[in-house]
Amino acid sequence: MKIRAFIALEIPNDPLSEILKIRDEKIGEAGNIKWEGKEKLHLTLKFLGDINSEMIGSYSKSLEKITDTYEGLNLSFSEFGVFKRRDEYKILWIGLNENQRLAKMVEEIESSFAEFGFEKERRNFKSHITLLRFRGYEDSEKIVSLTHVKLPVIEFKANKVTLFESKLLPSGSVYRSLKNFYLKN
């Protein structure tokens, strides 16, 4: 059976709450904005797309082999930003400061999954968490004003990598954890 899947680093609750508080204080009440739910906020390490569910065991062994060699990652948020396509806003994100160990882990995941036949990502890894997918009816300028906010230092330790299933529904995507991998403390 085919399922849609991706690999993500989960972000602890407290730092996410701090970011969402800053976002809400700056944007205020805006009824037409459909933010990504807090339960969906993560750092995608590798999007797999449609996979054969019978391969989950093999993928899990590969991920376990990688994650077993890493200690928890000390990370911090950097800035709010946007991705555009043809001058249209597409994604509002919160970025993370560069971390060599995180970049190395992503590189290892890319190499490992290339052995399964997955295409390596051509773009450089940009560690970010998607907060909003623009639908076209939001007050874009108000939302984009977040990119001018100077963030306080928000540091945290992330130690959970998850293989997720992503189901696309008319109401939006729904994620289900297939397997968790814990970095050493």
Helical ranges in the chain per DSSP H: 13-27, 56-67, 100-114, 140-144
CB 91 within 8 A of CB 44: no
Residues contacting 61, CB < 8 A, separation 6+: none
Which among 108, 91, 127 has a CA at the least distance from the CA of 183?
108
Burial of 21 by CB count in 10 Å (0-12 exposed, 13-18 middle, 19+ buried)?
exposed
The answer to whether the CB of 19 falls within 8 A of the CB of 156 is no
| 131 CB-side CA count, 13 A | 25
Mean pLDDT by 10 residues, the chain (185 residues): 97 97 87 88 97 97 98 97 93 96 97 96 91 89 94 97 94 92 92
Q: What spatial distance separates the first Cα and last Cα of the chain, rounded to whole Å?
A: 36
- The first and second tokens of residue 58, run together, are 């093999």
pLDDT at 30: 66
Cα 25 from chain centre: 23
How many angstroms separate the CA atoms of 115 and 89, rounded? 35
pLDDT at residue 136, rounded to an integer: 85
Q: What DSSP assignment string belongs to 85-107?
A: ETTEEEEEEEEE---HHHHHHHH
Is 0.85 surpassed by the pTM of this model? yes
pLDDT for position 108: 97
The superfamily CATH assigns to domain 2-182 is: Cyclic phosphodiesterase (3.90.1140.10)
| CB-CB contact of 164 with 60 (8 Å) | no
